[in-house]
Structure 1
Amino acid sequence: MSKHCSLQETAALLQAANKIVLCSHVSPDGDTLGSALSLMKALQKLGKDVIVTVDDEISKVYKFLPGIESFVRFQNDERIAADLLVVIDASSLDRAGNVSQCVSAPKTLNIDHHISNTEYADYLYLDTAAAATGEIMYELIDTLGVEVDLEMATCIYTALYTDCGSFKYSNTMPKTMRIAAALLEIGVKPNEISDSMEIKPRSNIEMLTKVLETLTFDADGKIAYISINNEMYDKDVDTDTFISYPRYIEGVEVAIMFKAVEKAVTRVSMRSRNLDVSEIAITFGGGGHLRAAGCTIEAALPEAQQQLLKALKEKLV
């Protein structure tokens, strides 16, 4: 179990460390990437030695983020010594990838907002009311006594924009919009971020046409899922938004995207209208939110589909 920290205690842990590794979660989205980069820049202003890592490929859609080139991916046999390991926006240790085996640090800190957090780190700052971990970063940077500049603001705005579904999801709260407004006052250009996030390369649309052909319904139409098999999978194609298509079909309660990233490794994303999909994700070692969750199943695509659909239909009964 983790020691739960206040925002002030979290800032103190960061202040006390000199060499810090910041880790984003696998299948990185704008929240984990923007949050890590904004904190990296704040800590560098305080004179800290900071490494940002993610054990996965980063979609080209995020190439506009200031500092995105700073991310490194550790090899499994690498060993890095640090004063503090900080895992950002990851509710379970498996979401951190290989960082636990590559980084040697006397203390681990997890900064997160997922209700399904498994309390795997030594120290935890958890705010389940936050719409995104980016909200936490905005407050944490202020607590560190660092002024948010335009680069940090761009990263934090992207974090909010991503986890709030362009500010249209139900987790968009008045506080979220107040922070977004403050970031605009710093100089963030929302149209530029929207264009960067929404404009799709031709390869993305070509992939989408193939994926939509896999659309399948189950449980009398309450479940709809799409699949990316090993032959279709391309690490350079951003597929995060594909789940929106089954999600908004009339009568669908749960939408799923299965993605075979290796022969025996399938990543799963789930979205629901009313069902708590985080409970299902947790049973497979994943986590997330009540209405949006994910996991990685160590199985080939057909077997992973069978396992997850069985668990999901038992919950729908």
Structure 2
Amino acid sequence: MADDRNLQIAAQQVRQALSDKGQRPSIAGFFDEATNTVSYVVHDPASGEAAIIDSVLDFEAASGRTSNGSADRIVEYVTSNDLQVAWLIETHAHADHISAAPYLQEKLGGKLAIGRGIIRVQEVFGKLFNAGTDFERDGSQFDRLFDDGDRFHIGEIEATALHVPGHTPADMAFIIGDAAFIGDTMFMPDFGTARADFPGGDAGQLFRSIRRLLELPEETRLFLCHDYKAPGRDEYAWETSVGQQRAHNVHVRDGVSEEEFVEMRTTRDRKLAMPALIMPSVQVNIRGGRLPEPEDNGVSYIKIPVNAV
């Protein structure tokens, strides 16, 4: 990783934040037990500028009804703390929950952002769902497409986007001050790593992305997108560190080779069921969290491809 200039910049940003409290963000996590997803509000204490990461729209599959209870918890937190939302960030196009970003954008403002790899995901799933020519496959549903190494700010706090594909082609990690929001790459050390068997996924690529993240300083705070409570652990958890992952991650700790990881991950993924909400989630999230256009009766429909996956 010696020639990875973007990683070096991110690592220097973390070191600066560790030595300067003004560069450390305040972070609130909101756990949605129905989808085992953690959403975050990250803000600069000095200015009150904030980002919302990986929000959840409540969805009842049996009835097809959506609701905003989870998102409204975030709205209440933002408004009660007098924060100004600058960014609505998706670490990737989630397969296990629908994004609430459009609802939050309407309520709170901010730019909707994701990695540029979403274009590849749109191409793959646009074909699967036979979305037609009206569905733009260019990422235009988002206000900003991040590339590896892109820099931005939340208030006065520096942030860097890193491309970490493997789970999907669009996965990004966002290093904000001394904290890294790593999406579906790693879970808590006792649970391991994300699956890599979705279209465009690649276990070897996931290993390399994770090892890249683990080159950040050991004190880097890591905030996870999901937790499922590993056997023997009774409480949900979603914050860890680079040092803890390097020492204890059951799938990818120091000393595990890429070959060993790929064999483990491939074998494990063959046994996993598809996420319960994958069809509605992906179909909506590739549209930036917006439902498909209503048909002539004014109703939006979610397609379920039969015997296609």
TM-score, normalised to structure 2's length?
0.38
Choose between structure 1 and 2 for higher RCO, CA contacts under 8 A separated by at least 6 residues: 2
Comparing both structures, which one devotes a greater share of its residues to helix?
Answer: 1
TM-score, normalised to structure 1's length?
0.37
